[in-house]
Structure 1
């Protein structure tokens, strides 16, 4: 039985994850971590049934001492995810991270910490299996069509832009793409930002609107043709099979992995 603690249980992703862990064979939800003192158990919160008796903690060290989790599933925000990940590794708890916003320096530090501890850590910019396949297919296409732009679209409560999935897609494409600067050499933005963020000559565009969940399309242009690779998450249930896969997998690992495409 894998003992799981969840940080961010009150969020939309967190609510789905609570139900997923409670209903999955081989998993036990032993604790929730929150920055607010909300009451003794999840059952005290309006979004959960009264009989959800999982305890809520505001202090991670106390959570570990009293509930002894094997895995911390973090679905919080870019403001707190680095500290949560570091604390989990320091306490020999395996992090599964579904929050983006790490700097390159933070990722390097956490990679070295996981290596020194010899425990697994998974940082997943996207848990949806279809999104992972979208990134893999985009990487393959970039070998032949190096003119590419990425349009990522999310709900208007998302804090970081571009999204972790958008950046990860660009990083994967850059591994195989012929380096080039796209567009006209004399191109000029009449409104700053109109052409999007620049990543090694590629452009990433971020859309934030109510009603969206998580969507991305990768556009490849060629002579007389356009190839579009697109993935849409229509609800947060689409991420849960990936969440469960990561919880089951991180137990067997002894290093940090960034991106599900590296273990699928």
Structure 2
């Protein structure tokens, strides 16, 4: 495949744990070209993205100015893609900027509100620019969520426990929120009250998502990304669990999203929509 035929990819958050994995994966994909790398970490500015990622020199320096790299992406024969793994505080502006430049965003950063996602969807629709926002890029997580939807037909009681490393900025995780939203869309209200509960310590019962679904968040060093969905009924407990032991597990989903987003004209929320 010629260089002109490959998908140009900009990695935003290239020096972060997920960003480094994306740099590796994109640089090794035959149908993609690592066009740019962006990160606000002053320690990494100007360094080669491949060296920082541990995959060898790629001759792509890490820059701090996203706008300038987005401009570069607009000058390619094939419309560019921005993969964003940054921080909840800046992801909305990053995605809106990418769409404004006609660069298709693939977003793994969580923390966007429902209102922000709706606004970005309207903006992408108006610009006829594809975008994918995925709370989780693991194929295993998608399968777990699909199994949960099947279980919800037979169980009325469910709670979600998500466990992540203690450097994660938002809680609950985007994956847990998305799972709860999917279950809520099944058209039933869960966990009918049998007693009047009282928390002696605030937050002991976690937070309550739509349709009375409880979500509990754990943050500890030694964890990466984990989720349990617990269904209970008389005499039985049905547990679905997914464990991430290496961030490389997310990369097949990220590469799939990059290939799919160039075919889209609007925003899609959830990797399951493009599998």
TM-score category, normalised to shorter length: over 0.9
CA contact (8 A) 1:41 1:53 kept: no
Structure 1: runs of 5+ lacking an equivalent: none
Residue 10 (structure 1) aligns with: 15
Q: Does 1:149 align with 2:155?
A: no
Aligned 1:63-212 pairs, distance under 5 A? 63-68=69-74, 70-199=80-209, 200-212=211-223
Residue 29 (structure 1) aligns with: 34
- Pair 42,219 (structure 1): closer, same or farther in 2 beyond 3 Å: same
Structure 2 Cα separation of the partners of residues 226 and 44 of structure 1: 46
CA contact (8 A) 1:143 1:178 kept: no
- 3-state SS of paired residue (1:158): coil
Structure 2 Cα separation of the partners of residues 124 and 207 of structure 1: 21
User: For residues 94-148 of structure 1, what are the alpha-carbon distances to aligned partners after superposition, in whole Å with 9 as ceiling and x for unaligned?
Assistant: 0000011011111111000110111110001000000011111111211221210
- Pair 139,44 (structure 1): closer, same or farther in 2 beyond 3 Å: closer
Q: TM-score normalised to the size of structure 2? A: 0.91
CA contact (8 A) 2:88 2:111 kept: yes
Q: CA RMSD in A?
A: 1.7
- 3-state SS of paired residue (1:190): coil
Q: TM-score normalised to the size of structure 1? A: 0.94
Structure 1 Cα separation of the partners of residues 131 and 27 of structure 2: 21
- Pair 59,39 (structure 1): closer, same or farther in 2 beyond 3 Å: closer
User: For residues 59-95 of structure 1, what are the alpha-carbon distances to aligned partners after superposition, in whole Å with 9 as ceiling and x for unaligned?
Assistant: 2332123344610000111011111000000000000
- Pair 179,156 (structure 1): closer, same or farther in 2 beyond 3 Å: same
How big is the shift at 1:157? 0.6
Q: Give the number of aligned pairs.
A: 264
